[in-house]
Structure 1
């Protein structure tokens, strides 16, 4: 099976825009994540920032601690932070009966803390959300060991993948990575934020997947794909600059340092590097952040993007890597904003 190599954490590509964004902020916002014995997906305004899908789909028990840059997904005013939890039984390599798939490990939990860190190094907790298993064996949100009734709780079905018949990116996919008809327990909490920079996506037009919008979105992907196919570092840097400015404002450094950290040239130097031609029928839109953000995802495995390529490792193994930007429709054009 081809392993996935997501070169950019949180997918940092962006198309050039005539607007130059300048950000003056003296703080950053991070969301710390602690998870165990369950599938956990942490989202900010509907955009996934961290999850343990890859681990649990390969037999892991869901242990993990990390942090995610939630600041670039927030705007001034009300925002929503989310925990989505599912039982490990959905990812089991064994044939578990349908009625047992929503049985949770009694110690399953996922906890997030949103922290603001100023330029003096002070850490200010803004809010937290903790989900664990109640006496009935079901996920529940708690605060100070009491059920948090202020949290919006929903039970939803995860999106299903779709089998592709031709022009496959992957020879095989891990069927357990996106279990069919998986039940997900979703917990949403509101948080008010102020003094944030005004990111490019804040005033984006809503994506509704009209034929014209889809055509423009595909054109943006093709422009990016072509830049990679031509292996033009200068062009790629130009295309990435607005996004790199956002990341520099929220993580530190400057555009030059951010671009260097992506190691784009490393991909081109791989043996047998080759971009994978795009079959648009094999992709579908994933709409996020109340329509302000969208990306195209591969129907058989939602991690993959139209901007994908193959290469051969030093050991002679074929690999597939990808870049999966998130777009917004800004000033009449789709630009990757994250």
Structure 2
């Protein structure tokens, strides 16, 4: 069965909530880029991209409760490192939604974080998407997914995709998303986490320097091979089509990632790529048992901080 993998509104885990609920809990996935083509720097400071987003079962959870002001607390990955002030995308998302809907930005927000910081998995964007969905329910603003995605585009390039989830084509700076046709079913992945992170602007600046020096290609190709591979059920075909234009830059900034990628391939991964801007790496396995063995082998090899199994595609930010 071939279908456009884009969860219909209200599906994928959303539970009905009364308008203006007293407490709302939202689960939101990480994203990986099955393909990331990076074009030249635009006049607005962004790069033109052509990407295929894929939401995977590595989740953060955000709980929103009624409050007299807007506050944020957290636990888990990045606790004590992640700023909880107005610079956090969660706070920005809540205020953007409140401004759009004409309501007060009053909520007590608590984040349980598993997606690593600055890991190339769009953890901050995921949390912003979760905030839009949670506060929409908390405040009873009743916006559609499409309206939330419009607000999301003002916050960050990856946020609109994580409102929807699934598998989608991203263009522009990544904020213009549309579902892609794919065979029903799941792909099985292993994600390795690194000690530390890479700042996305730094990785983009590095690829610009490398291209100027002739050390990396300049063109951005359409992901035709990847889109065709998704319409099949052969992991080997999909693995051969994976690609990331930012990988040379991430490897230049973090050379040890080369050992991580090599270790995964030696352990039987069908494909290995840096996830987005890195330093997390993603490995495609043939099936779930293969992913579990691969994760164990990578953890034992000492080439990463942790290795986690995941499957995709999954729904985006949803009430649980």
TM-score calculated relative to the size of structure 1: 0.27
Q: Which has the larger radius of gyration?
A: 1
The structure where strand makes up a greater share of residues is 1
The structure where helix makes up a greater share of residues is 2
TM-score calculated relative to the size of structure 2: 0.28
